[in-house]
Amino acid sequence: MATEQPAAEVPARTGVGIVGAGPAGLFLAHLLGLAGIDSVVVERHSRRHVEERIRAGVVEHGIAELLESGGVGDRMRREGLVHHGIELRFGGAGHRIAMSELTGGKAITVYGQQEIVKDLIAARIESGGPLVFEAEALAIEGVDGPSPAVRYRLEGRERVLSCDVVAGCDGFHGISRAAVPAGAAIEYQREHPFGWLGILARVAPSTEELIYCRHERGFALHSMRSPELSRFYLQVAPDEPLESWPDERIWAELRLRLSTTGDWSLADGPILERSITAMRSFVLEPISFGSLHLAGDAAHIVPPTGAKGMNLALADVHDLAGSLTALLVEGDEGPLEAYSKRCVRRAWQAQEFSTFMTTLLHPLPGDDFGNRLQLARLEQLVGSADAARHLSERYVDLASTATTGGGRS
Ligand code: APR
Ligand code: PHB
């Protein structure tokens, strides 16, 4: 079994035990390393699997700065696509939201989550810090005491990693939340009555900026990854089988929904990847329990319409790294004690924006009243600079500014 880290060399004790090598776990390990704090990352999948998993692609203004200031933003700055606006398309017409103009020059960077993951893995390996793939965490124990432990399986054998602190960065389907003592947290959830069919296609984008399109047949999004790769999403039923979407049907549906009265056309190409994801909103409150602290998708899930999931995950662990540095280097418990409160506040701000974008753009079959309201709201957004500014401020820079009502965390 291939692991990047020889099993014999994985320490049995560390400062911070990190479960999960997604953007949250990897950025946390990197920032802790910069502060001179030891950590071990255990990840249940292979390196190849986590590097190839296609996920989100929009990096907010302030989050791009955090990656850069952590020394892991060089390739993103070189290869990422900087966008100064988005298009809202409805009723067969496109309307540009000039985000940079409306936010004092802020912009988003379109750069795939798996590219950030590759950059963070490369930085971790270069630093020599332990990062163990194909190591599945089974349980987190002793979180109410000073020496918690992560029990995990590597090369068929169970092992124990003793830590000062455990960071649960293992996503929505991880095991960290199971270590939360019964009755210690509230779970707020909302299921949405649709999912997204997402594709990656080898074709030049037919647009310079992202198109968020509301159509009677459902939402469509035209995004991209590079000058040669386009990414698209279609609103579908949450339990829709992928088999009922052959290539021709996908392109025909994208053409129908994205069509305009102007002279715009959609270029197609080979589909390289496709998946259907149900849409969910979830917030856990609080997210710290003794010496266990959750971050990213383990703590909260937002529907992807606001492009906030990865940004929230990175903002959480930037905060967590600073709080752990205060504790483990300076002996100051204060920042870590308020970590959960700051993250939960940020999660609800992201939840509010993501719900706003989702309910604005996804028509519900049979809900004629709601569907007319969507059009009225869209008209406000393209007709009022104040409404467009409010959307832009939250779209370009929410995650790094949402803990103190405007100030950086
Ligand atoms: N043991 C070890 N690793 C685990 C376990 C386990 N028991 N369970 C899950 N993991 C790993 C997963 O394999 C995954 O690589 O934890 C990692 C969690 O990563 P993400 O799901 O990417 O979560 P996070 O780092 O919080 O990033 C959130 O990912 O899903 C998107 O939209 C979301 O963009 C957001 C981002
Ligand atoms: C993406 O490119 O994957 C993407 C872009 C914007 C979103 C969601 C996903 O809102």
For residue 402, the model assigns a pLDDT of 80
Distance in Å, CA 263 to ligand 1 centroid: 42
Residues of the chain with pLDDT under 50: 1-2, 405-409
Quick count: other Cβ atoms within 10 Å of Cβ 332?
A: 13
Distance in Å, CA 57 to ligand 2 centroid: 5
For residue 4, the model assigns a pLDDT of 65
**Which atom of ligand 2 is nearest the CA belonging to 305?**
10
Q: Whose CA is closest to atom 33 on ligand 1?
A: 309
For residue 394, the model assigns a pLDDT of 97
Distance CA 304, CA 91 (A): 23
CB of 285 shorter than 6 A to ligand 1: no
Q: Whose CA is closest to atom 6 on ligand 2?
A: 307
CB of 174 shorter than 6 A to ligand 1: yes
Active-site choice (106, 222, 308, 362): 308
Degrees, nearest 5: CA angle 67-70-76: 35
Distance CA 335, CA 322 (A): 8
Mutate to test the pocket of ligand 2, among 87, 108, 209, 231 (most ligand atoms within 8 A of CB): 231
Q: Which two tokens stand for residue 349?
A: 């701000």
Element (H, E) at 210: none
Mutate to test the pocket of ligand 2, among 207, 219, 223 (most ligand atoms within 8 A of CB): 223
Q: Which two tokens stand for residue 391?
A: 């959307």
For residue 233, the model assigns a pLDDT of 98
Distance in Å, CA 309 to ligand 2 centroid: 10
Distance CA 185, CA 385 (A): 40
Distance in Å, CA 220 to ligand 2 centroid: 11
CB of 76 shorter than 6 A to ligand 1: no
For residue 6, the model assigns a pLDDT of 75
Cα-flanking dihedrals φ and ψ of residue 293, to 5°? -130, 125
Contact 163, 15 (CB under 8 A): yes
Confirm whether 365 is a catalytic residue.
no
7-84+108-189+280-363, superfamily in CATH? FAD/NAD(P)-binding domain (3.50.50.60)
For residue 3, the model assigns a pLDDT of 52
For residue 404, the model assigns a pLDDT of 54
Place of tokens 């990897």: 26
Instruction: Give the torsion through C-alpha atoms of 198, 19, 32, 22, to 10 deg.
Output: -10
Domain range list for the chain: 7-84+108-189+280-363
Contact 125, 131 (CB under 8 A): yes
Distance CA 347, CA 352 (A): 9
Distance CA 282, CA 302 (A): 7
For residue 182, the model assigns a pLDDT of 87
Distance in Å, CA 45 to ligand 1 centroid: 10
Longest dimension (CA), the chain: 65
Contact 338, 386 (CB under 8 A): no
Element (H, E) at 243: none
Pairing between strand 186-202 and 229-236? antiparallel
Confirm whether 395 is a catalytic residue.
yes
For residue 407, the model assigns a pLDDT of 36
Model confidence, pTM:
0.97
Q: Whose CA is closest to atom 21 on ligand 1?
A: 171
Contact 146, 46 (CB under 8 A): no
